[in-house]
Amino acid sequence: MSTAKSAELVDIISVGNTLGEGISWDPIGERVWWTDIQERLLYRYDPLQGALKTFDLPERLGSFGFIEGSDEIVAAFESGFAMYHPESGSLDWLARPEHEAKNLRFNDGRVDRQGRFWAGSMVEGNGLPTGKLYCLRGEQLDVCLTHIAISNSICFSPDGRHLYFADSPHRAILRYDIDANTGAIGNRKIFARTPSGAFPDGSNVDAQGYVWNAHWGAGRVVRYALDGSIDLEIELPTVQPTCVAFGGKNLDLLYVTSARQGMSPDALAREPHAGDVFVYKPNIKGLADPRFADPRLRRGS
């Protein structure tokens, strides 16, 4: 079994995002997509052409997934779930669950191996941990976890049997078992803990099932083995990495988003690449992100 012993920085996409997040590679279009949450922008980058395009959004977009047989995305906007077409701007709301507080919005999310879209909400600023983790299966929306401060690190094992999740302030990545048919989760275990000052942000899983996590506040991406031990650490040129995705034609590149939100002028002067997207070449391959099963196909629309 090959192991990632190093990762070479091969490119920096200079975008200066306020809060870059939710990055994902589209193997059909061979382009990488991500969101700048605070600026209400969706980014699309074609590495072969060096072409960058942005799309204005109706709300802040926490996370998204690609859809089977469609050019739309399934989106976790700040207020709920929708089908969104970036080129036309068309919007079809699927569910807008009532948040328990005004300072809640949707944050991290991914599509699982069965084509369901998972996304969690988070508290902005002070307040009780009233966030929730949701699972969208077609048009059915289920609440899977409650009492969350900041939902993050959502990703799934290659066989679809495990969910990884973190409530970031607790500095622990959790692992749950998933019922493949119902999406019900259980058997909660602590998979890995992050050190002081390192908060688990976005995660992804590679072809070996190892978990890659961005450590917000610590300026690194960590690859965890199946037992939760650290296999590799990548030091980034900025302190606030946010999310990771495997991409490239052979899924052998690691894309990492970052943020400049909350950084002082002095900190930004020290970290001129804060908010950019970093591209690394590790000695490992990823998996294609699953695509959401469009519920409209089932009802013939």
Residue 2 belongs to some domain of the structure: no
pLDDT of residue 84: 97
Q: What is the pTM of this model?
A: 0.95
Nearest CA among 142, 73, 168, 72 for reference residue 111: 73
CA angle 144, 150, 154 (to 5 degrees): 55
CA distance 123 to 238: 24
> In CATH, what number is assigned to the domain containing residue 66?
2.120.10.30
Helix (H) or strand (E) holding 212: strand 211-216
Q: How do residues 63-101 score in pLDDT, each as one tens digit?
A: 999 999 999 999 999 999 999 999 999 999 999 998 888
Residue 43, number of CB atoms within 10 A of its CB = 23
Q: Which residue numbers in the chain have pLDDT < 50?
A: 1-3, 299-301
pLDDT of residue 299: 47
Residue 1 belongs to some domain of the structure: no
Nearest CA among 187, 143, 166, 179 for reference residue 242: 166
Helix (H) or strand (E) holding 8: strand 7-13
pLDDT of residue 232: 95
Is 84:128 a contact under the CB 8 Å cutoff? no
Residue 238 belongs to some domain of the structure: yes
State yes or no: is 201 an active-site residue.
yes
pLDDT of residue 139: 86
Domain range enclosing 294: 7-298
Long-range contacts of 228-232 (CB under 8 A, 24+ apart): 228/173, 228/190, 228/191, 228/192, 230/192, 231/3, 231/4, 232/3, 232/4, 232/5, 232/6, 232/7, 232/282
Residue 286 belongs to some domain of the structure: yes
Total domain count for the chain? 1
pLDDT of residue 101: 87
Out of 36, 167, 201, 206, pick the active-site residue.
Answer: 201
pLDDT of residue 4: 53
Which residue, chain included where needed, has tokens 């409530």? 167
The secondary structure of residue 226, as a DSSP letter, is T
CA distance 103 to 185: 27
Residue 191 belongs to some domain of the structure: yes
